[in-house]
Amino acid sequence: MNRIQHTFNELKRKGGKAIIPYIMAGDGGMDCLIDRLLILEEMGATAIEVGIPFSDPVADGPTIQKAGIRALENGTSLRTTISELARVREAISVPIVLMTYLNPIYSYGIEKFVQEIVKAGVDACIIPDLPIEEEEIICPLLSEVNIELIRLVTMTTPLDRIKMIAHKGRGFLYTVTVKGITGTRNDLDHEVGQFLKIVKEISPIPVLAGFGISNERQIEELASYCDGVIVGSKIVELFNKNDLESLKRLMSVFNLYKNVQ
State how far the Cα of 151 lies from the Cα of 172, in Å rounded to an integer. Answer: 8
In terms of DSSP H, where are the helices of the chain? 3-14, 33-42, 62-73, 78-88, 102-108, 110-119, 139-144, 159-166, 192-202, 216-223, 233-240, 244-258
Among 229, 249, 74, residue whose Cα is nearest residue 66: 74
Catalytic member of 27, 49, 123, 227? 49
State how far the Cα of 204 lies from the Cα of 188, in Å rounded to an integer. Answer: 25
Give how far Cα 120 sits from Cα of 9, 147, 215, 218, 220, Å: 23, 12, 32, 33, 33
For this structure, is 60 an active site residue?
yes
State how far the Cα of 181 lies from the Cα of 59, in Å rounded to an integer. Answer: 5
Local structure of residue 155 (DSSP, 8 states): T
State how far the Cα of 135 lies from the Cα of 49, in Å rounded to an integer. Answer: 20
Per this entry, what is the length of the chain?
A: 261
For this structure, is 245 an active site residue?
no
Amino acid sitting at position 133: E
Catalytic member of 27, 60, 116, 227? 60
Helix (H) or strand (E) holding 151: strand 148-153
In terms of DSSP H, where are the helices of 109-183? 110-119, 139-144, 159-166
Among 11, 38, 41, 6, residue whose Cα is nearest residue 223: 11
Residues that are catalytic: 49, 60
